[in-house]
Amino acid sequence: MMEQEHTGYSAYRNRRKGYLLILALLLLVAIVIAAGIGAVTIPATEVLSILTKQIFYTIKQAPRTGVEDIHRTIILDVRLPRIFLAALVGGSLSGAGAALQGLFGNPLADPYIMGISSGAGLGATIAILCNLPSFFPGLSSVPVVAFIASIVTMIVVYFLAGARGRVPMNTFLLSGVVVSSFLWAVISFAMMVSGDSLRAIIMWLMGSLSNKGYTHVKIAVPYIVLGIAILFIRARDLNLICLGDDEARYLGIDSESTKRIIIFASSLVTAASVSVGGIIGFVGLIVPHIMRMILGPDHRLLLPASVIAGGIFLVSADTIARTLIPPAEIPVGIITALAGAPFFFFILKRYKVQRADL
Amino acid sequence: MGLNRYSYRVLITVVIIIICSFGIQLLVGAENQEYKIIDDLGREIRVDLPIKSIISTAPSNTEILFALGLGEKVFGVTEECNYPPEAKAKPKIGQVEMSIEKIIETSPDLVISVASMQMPIIEALSDLSIPVLAVDPKTVEDVLNNIILIGKATGTEEVAGLLAEDLGNQIRDIQIKAAKAVEEGGRPRVFVEIWDEPLMTAGPGTFIDELITIAGGENIAWDSAVEWPEFSTEVLIERNPEVIITVWADENDILTRPAWKYVSACKTGRIRKLNPDFLTRPGPRLIQGLSELLEAIHPDYFS
């Protein structure tokens, strides 16, 4: 790191904080703008007044009638939970992607490379096919079964790859790819015999945040916060592992256990976000790359930056997804791929001259 | 230079073959002319009556065949064909993908398929000279016409005519009731929930949309550019449906959604769960779906 050598570590730390502060402000702006845009047009002044009233006074008990009341319901009960969910899911996928790209030393790694998405997909497909009743009021069985299935998949992949206590990273990647293809074959077969539920399965697999409320935010938050906290704490160890197993050992890192912890934390956040959002692609691949190109490979900056930027990216993509062809919406996975790929190439072209480390 | 004897022989043989083949074609054509039918793809189908074995590649067609009293002659249906109950006992020829081998094994006199999804199988069977009648219903009226078309192709034209007339009368009866209800109380706003997450509904171009209009309601997804859209929750709340029809989620699941508590249908409890087969299958039971929709949308005018 150039900064470290020339101006000292504390200056670098200040710059790091600066970057994260700017990103956090951008996320806040994105959330406010997203809350103001929707298929139903609500004037900006009204949006701001509803939001500030909600923040500074508790007026939930006040009787609600009239147009302003419908607008308040739309902003507070429809848009905001969905925006929070987009920020959580985007942040999780992007953070997990950044950690796994570092861990595997593989630019193609993303949160789905370990087969978690296919596990969640199979769980969701089964829940939809078998018409499983909901376990909790206000929450369908689909996210719950998807979460359980993705955790089971993660355990299977891990044990298939394990060799005498050590988990070689290449074996792990291969194991993930193989389990993933197997599960996708099962999903395809299930779709073939699904009849009327086929469309619902396809829509789920494409990834969508449609009709999601605070219940989804509440069930996903604990796992996501826990997983991301673990990743942040282990950011320094991840830097050392990137140097190589031997180097990490000389520097006092138990690389096997660190790898396990990072894989566990990434899997946890991925499983939680896929369960509530479906398989939303490109966020976990592209956003970490963009952040690495702009900010460099230090995971202490890269991981939090990727989390916030992933949130910004998915909040924006979902705003486009729900407003482009009203009153219909587009599954957000289509938008992330459509918008993400060209944007990535633009960034790649712009930064590849400056940084050769990718 | 003149032709030699060998060339003459060849030439004469060729001419004789050509004349003969024309003659055969003329004869064959003359024999089948009375049973030519144009299907919904504009293809000309030739069938030899009486039909002894029929295969149906769609639940809607199976229902039509049974309604025409042809159940005995049906020798193959899909896994989805669950009505009438007798249809479930028929040999299965596939689900989404049909098994061509099983169809050939049955050597049916007629296969009845749907145009929209089944082009590959229609082409493959036509290449094997198995007669395939493709129907492509887009509206309720098309369904009545399809019943008559299938009647013609199977030699049950009379029964089909009566069935179509009876269904047409039922539709007119519902239309009259609905018109009276609309005149007195307007068109209630209706939302049909096909799926909950993502929230999906039926837009213009679907049978559901047409049935709602006939039953005197207004589909709140009237301006969707997509036939089966993922629908915006906030637009739903703004348009405030008075009636919600659900085919998947339970009434109670809908009532527990926090953002939906101000929706008129949730406040008044006018949420009704209906069997999607009545609303989406272009067969005779569509009229039953229509009748249930009228009951849900205009309960006072139903009986």
Cross-chain residue pair A211–B197, CB shorter than 8 Å: yes
- The tokens 């009743």 sit on which residue? A133
pLDDT of residue A1: 46
Render pLDDT for A204-232 as a digit per residue (tens, 0 to 9).
888 889 888 888 898 899 999 999 999 99
Neighbours of B186 (CB within 10 A): 11
Cross-chain residue pair B228–A199, CB shorter than 8 Å: yes
DSSP label of A166: B
Neighbours of B270 (CB within 10 A): 19
Residues 6 or more apart whose Cβ sits within 8 Å of residue B49:
B35, B155
Render pLDDT for A298-324 as a digit per residue (tens, 0 to 9).
899 999 999 999 999 999 999 999 999
Above 80 in pLDDT, residue A3? Answer: no
Please give the average per-residue pLDDT across A269-297, as a whole number. 90
Taking the C-alpha atoms of residue B134 and residue B27, their distance in angstroms, rounded to an integer, is 27
Using the Cβ of B207 and the Cβ atoms of chain A, whether some distance falls under 8 Å is answered with no
- The tokens 């004037």 sit on which residue? A43
DSSP label of B73: G
pLDDT of residue B33: 41
pLDDT of residue A6: 55
Render pLDDT for A130-180 as a digit per residue (tens, 0 to 9).
888 777 766 778 889 999 999 999 889 888 887 556 667 788 888 889 999
Taking the C-alpha atoms of residue A216 and residue A227, their distance in angstroms, rounded to an integer, is 17
Residue B192 DSSP SS3 = strand
DSSP label of A225: H
Buried/exposed code over B51-71 (b: 16+ C-beta within 10 A; e: otherwise)? beebbbbbbbbbbbbbbbebe
Q: Which of B72, B79, B73, B76 is nearest to B56 (CA)?
A: B76
Residue ranges of domains in chain A, CATH in brackets? 24-351 (1.10.3470.10)
Q: Looking at chain A from residue 221 to 260, which residues have their Cβ under 8 Å from any Cβ of chain B? A: none
Q: How confident is the model at residue A119 (pLDDT cuts 50, 70, 90)?
A: very high
Residues 6 or more apart whose Cβ sits within 8 Å of residue B279:
B192, B207, B208, B211, B245, B247, B286, B289, B293
pLDDT of residue A204: 86
Using the Cβ of A199 and the Cβ atoms of chain B, whether some distance falls under 8 Å is answered with yes
Taking the C-alpha atoms of residue A312 and residue A339, their distance in angstroms, rounded to an integer, is 13
- Considering only CB atoms, B235 lies closest to which of A69, A142, A326, namely A326
Q: What is the dihedral of CA B166, B171, B175, B181, to 10 degrees?
A: 100
Query: Nearest-CA distance from A297 to chain B in Å?
Result: 37
pLDDT of residue B163: 94
Percentage, residues of chain A above pLDDT 70 = 90
Using the Cβ of A72 and the Cβ atoms of chain B, whether some distance falls under 8 Å is answered with no
pLDDT of residue A182: 94
Instruction: Indicate the residue type of B164.
Output: A
Query: Which regions of chain B are under pLDDT 70?
Result: 1-3, 22-34, 96, 303
Residue ranges of domains in chain B, CATH in brackets? 35-161 (3.40.50.1980), 185-301 (3.40.50.1980)
So what's the ipTM on this one? Answer: 0.80
Cross-chain residue pair A70–B238, CB shorter than 8 Å: yes
Q: How confident is the model at residue A60 (pLDDT cuts 50, 70, 90)?
A: low
Q: How confident is the model at residue A237 (pLDDT cuts 50, 70, 90)?
A: confident
Above 70 in pLDDT, residue A123? Answer: yes
